[in-house]
Amino acid sequence: MRFRDIKKQKNKKQKEKTLTDVKYATFTDRIKALITDLFMIYIPILYIITYLVLDGKDEFQSSQLAPLVAVSLYGLVYALLVSKFGQTPGKKAYLIKIVDSKTQENISFIRAFYRFTAFLLSATSLLGLLLPLFRADKKALHDIMANTAVIAINE
């Protein structure tokens, strides 16, 4: 057997070992990170739209477009942060990261935005968000749809 073939087999075994040694993020850390992100990203977007773009809460409440714009902006910011860093501020605070299920690497912007829209869909049925409580790999419905995993990291 040639040396490079032995080296390829060794690298393959090391990759398999690292992929099976993944520690998934806990459900409570995921919820706390979501709440933190809502306060750090979504609330400022709502404030800017309500008081700087519109004339106040009455106009925001009567508008059908303003909440859609706010959620869309939040989704874009969320997808940008997840694709660039693998984390949002809330996920960074609780030392968790969103990665590809197979390669454990950051996901693309399109996939991160798809995961966000899948999150909105799975949030409509609470079952999609409670799925991590019943799975060994702690994946929610939007993680399964986007083929991602939320892992705990050590920094």
Q: What does the pLDDT average to over 21-31?
A: 90
Q: Which amino acid is at 53?
A: V
In terms of Cα–Cα distance, which of 60, 58, 41 is closest to 49?
Answer: 60
pLDDT tens for 143-154 read 999 999 999 998
DSSP secondary structure string for all residues of 126-141? THHHHGGGT-TT---H
pLDDT at 85: 95
Q: Round the average pLDDT of the chain to a whole number and report it.
A: 89
Separation between Cα atoms, residue 26 and residue 93, nearest integer Å:
14
How many folded domains does the chain comprise? 1
How far is Cα 148 from Cα 112, in angstroms, rounded to an integer?
9
Domain membership flag for residue 12: no
| Within-domain flag for 44 | yes
What pLDDT score does 148 carry? 95
Domain limits for position 75: 22-152
Q: Which helix (H) or strand (E) holds 61?
A: helix 57-62
- CA 150/CA 152 separation, integer angstroms: 7
Average pLDDT of the residues in 50-68: 92
Model pTM score: 0.81
- Over residues 46-57, the mean pLDDT reads 92
- Is the pLDDT score of 16 beyond 60? no
User: What pLDDT score was predicted for residue 126?
Assistant: 84
Q: Is residue 65 included in any domain, yes or no?
A: yes
Q: Compute how many other C-beta atoms are within 10 angstroms of the C-beta atom of residue 23.
A: 11
C-alpha–C-alpha distance, residues 63 and 126, integer Å: 27
Residue 114 resides in a domain: yes
pLDDT of 7 over the 70 cut: no
**Helix (H, G, I), strand (E, B), or coil: what is residue 103?**
coil
Q: Say what the pLDDT of residue 68 is.
A: 95
Query: What six digits make up the tokens of 78?
Result: 């969320």
Q: Give the separation between CA 52 and CA 62, rounded to whole angstroms.
A: 16
**C-alpha torsion 31→78→81→139, nearest 10:** 40
Whether 106 is in a domain gets the answer yes
Q: What is the pLDDT of residue 79?
A: 97
